[in-house]
A and B are shown apart, each in its own frame.
Chain A
Amino acid sequence: MNLVEAVNSALREEMERDDRVMVLGEDVGRAGGVFRATEGLQKLFGEDRVVDTPLAESGIVGTAIGLALFGMRPVAEIQFMGFIYPAFDQIISHAGRMRNRSRGRFSVPLVIRAPYGGGIHAPEHHSESTEAIFAHTPGIKVVIPSNPYDAKGLLISAIRDPDPVVFLEPKRLYRAIKAEVPDGDYEVPIGNAAVAREGEQVTLIAWGSMVPIASDAADALAEEGIDVELIDVRTVTPLDSETIIESVKKTGRVVVVHEAPKTCGFGAEIIAMINERAFLSLSAPPQRVTGFDIVFPLLKSEHLYLPSVERISAAVRRVMEF
């Protein structure tokens, strides 16, 4: 099963299990979503549970907040992360605050799914990866799977989570990798990073679409005799600091990889956290391999923007040679 099928499978099974779960967004019904993530769901569950909404992102998320407040379990789809900004006010001003604002009386069990990231030769505003601005928002969880197994398990957890979750899907990986994904119920808990590859010399930290690239870099570096431990963050917030700190204490060297712009990217947060908690374990200054502080380029230039095996390997060599 590939990643987009895993997403579809999680949605289908959760809708079967719990009739409060509903899907809403632009083109999610008859068309099955622009990436086919919701394919077939409207036929199975009807137009009341898989809803083609008017084209309005704030409208989708704002009404989904109301649906959630009134006992539904809405899963809202924003077609591309680059279009999520009209809904940002609803996410930051209301979804993330309602439990606190009502001192626990009301909560917003809402999932907002959005494909994120570049690498698929998309037009403008279709390649954004700005998870850091959501991570900076109190009251929101930010989850980014990197493989089909995690995508299904994490999405099931997100739907069952009593709080709002921004669930970012690496669209570059939607069809790039296949993996064994069990039919039926399993959860991958939110808030747990995975050690995707064990190693002794340097900790490479990545999430979402950067995990396979980082993994390729680790393979290449192994041939040079560099033993890389790769951590797949999986949940940006709440961050699993323990897994990261444990690894850094073992290796003493860190490279964080993300495709979002460098300044105030989530890599900065991870490195600050490492400095606070494991400074004396470090043998070299932590490095970042990131996108640049520029508008995500159109398709002819996107390879220049995206972190590559070469850029990651170079950064790892830098921390090894320090």
Chain B
Amino acid sequence: MNDLFKEFDPLKDKMLRILDENGILNEQLAPALPDGKVPDFLRWMLLARAADQKALNLQRQGRMGTYASLLGQEAIQLGSAAAMGADDWFFPSYRELLVCIYRGLPLSNVYLYWMGNEIGSRIPEGVNMFPFSVPVGSQILHAVGAAWAAKLQKRKIVVAVYFGDGATSEGDFHEGLNFAGVLRAPVVFICQNNQYAISVPLRRQTAAATIAQKAVAYGFEGIRVDGNDVFACYAATKAAFDKARAGGGPTLIEAVTYRLGAHTTSDDPLRYRDDSEVEQWRASDPLTRLEKYLRARQLINDNFVAEAKAEADARVEQAVTEAEAVEPPAPPDLFQYMFKEMPASLKEQLASLTELFPLKENKRG
């Protein structure tokens, strides 16, 4: 599997691409995936797109707080999530809606979180992920620590961590990669290089030619993949996971993609980038590309797409209904998770708050 990393050495200006923009597959590089699985990929990506659009609508209607869209980044999210093993874990940043729901987090949890209801960040048992991390890049170290623990405990699991190109400017990115290299921790760093950290373009984040090449300085492999090509994303992540599981240490994956929307609903990208640039990248839309391939191979037809979209809409509506039915946290909910046991000082402060707000136990609390 390490051959992939040798062949696509970022220092040699190589980038892994398997499915091109016209939907033509490079059969030699194509990962072993049963034909039946690939239409499922499209189904998930359509679901994410519907869920994303719904969140943007809800935000505009005042039914959701600030939301961070994943529009355009579906291929790396789905490809990497599908490459993980059942027992593997991941640390998201805050844009990984598709990774989260593919790995089992109910969509209603994602909605609850962005609606400002803390109950959304409780990860159900059996879903191997940690809550969203908003400070940029700081979750990278947690993933390294968790992978380090897994290694010490001789558990055959791998930990993935997601972050954007902006995070690679943070000290924690460098400390995380350095620790991982020294410890040979079973961790996969997945950088979704979507070209902008809010308004600042990649060339103002780094003077390096690629992000993937930074791995070399830390003593392990990096690989640059076409982040809008779900096959390349899957293949690179699978190889990185297999390598880590076999004791081969960390890998840095740079998925070259594009954030088609705004950084969050509070941001206006018209201030810092041209429509022409966005249009260029729109031609590389990961969904269109996969759909072209699947249609050419006659794995799907109009009917499939229509049904998948209808199913996605129904799931989204269901998740919204569920999320909106959950009461906001009552005062005790706000206090009870600060420590395992509530100290006297917090009990006093809670009592002063509950004098003003009547106690109401939360249904999903």
Q: Which residues of A contact B (CB under 8 A)?
A: 22, 48, 53-54, 56, 58-59, 61-72, 74, 86, 89-90, 93-94, 98-107, 138-139, 141, 162-163, 191, 237-239, 241-242
Contact = CB atoms under 8 A, between A and B. Distances in A.
Given A59-B178, A65-B142, A103 B149 contact: no
A164 to B, nearest CB: 9
Given A48-B152, A69-B149, 7 more contacts: A63-B141, A63-B179, A66-B149, A74-B145, A86-B171, A139-B339, A238-B344
23 contacts: A48-B152, A54-B175, A58-B138, A59-B178, A62-B141, A62-B176, A63-B141, A63-B176, A63-B179, A66-B143, A66-B144, A66-B146, A69-B145, A74-B145, A94-B138, A99-B340, A100-B338, A103-B337, A104-B337, A162-B339, A238-B346, A241-B345, A242-B344
A92 B146 CA distance: 19
B323 to A, nearest CB: 15
Contacts of A106: 123, 130-131
A238 B341 CA distance: 11
Contact of B148 (A58, A67, A139): A67
Contact of A100 (B130, B141, B144, B337): B337
B182 interface: yes
A153 B153 CA distance: 28
A99 B339 contact: yes
Nearest to A70: B149
Shortest 5 CB-CB distances between A and B: which pairs? A66-B145, A62-B141, A59-B175, A238-B343, A70-B149
B121 A103 contact: yes
A272 to B, nearest CB: 13
Interface string B329-365: 0000100111110011110000000000000000001
A299 to B, nearest CB: 31
A89 B135 contact: yes
Nearest to A162: B340
A59 B143 CA distance: 11
A238 B345 contact: yes
B interface residue count range (under 10 / 10 to 19 / 20 to 34 / 35 or more): 35 or more
A56 B175 contact: yes
Contact of B178 (A54, A86, A162): A54
Contacts of B171: 56, 58, 86
Contacts of B346: 238
A63 B153 contact: no
Contacts of A94: 133, 135, 138-139, 142
Nearest to A239: B345
Interface of B: 118-119, 121-123, 125, 130-131, 133, 135, 138-150, 152-153, 159, 171-172, 175-176, 178-179, 182, 333, 336-340, 343-346, 365
A65 B336 CA distance: 21
A101 B175 CA distance: 24
Contacts of A71: 149, 153
B337 A62 contact: no
A59 B174 CA distance: 9
A19 B346 CA distance: 33
A225 B174 CA distance: 61
Given A56-B179, A86-B171, A63 B123 contact: no
Contacts of A99: 337-340
A66 B344 CA distance: 29
A62 B175 contact: yes
Contacts of A65: 141-142, 145
A138 B172 contact: no
A62 B138 contact: yes
A103 B118 contact: yes
A53 B339 CA distance: 28
B175 A93 contact: no
A141 B171 CA distance: 26
Given A56-B175, A66-B144, A93 B135 contact: yes
A139 B179 CA distance: 26
B145 A63 contact: yes
A105 B121 CA distance: 9
B142 to A, nearest CB: 4
A79 B149 CA distance: 23
Nearest to B152: A48
Contacts of A163: 339-340
Contacts of B149: 66-67, 69-72
A86 B146 CA distance: 20
B75 to A, nearest CB: 28
A53 B179 contact: yes
B244 to A, nearest CB: 15
A67 B146 contact: yes
Contacts of B337: 99-100, 102-104
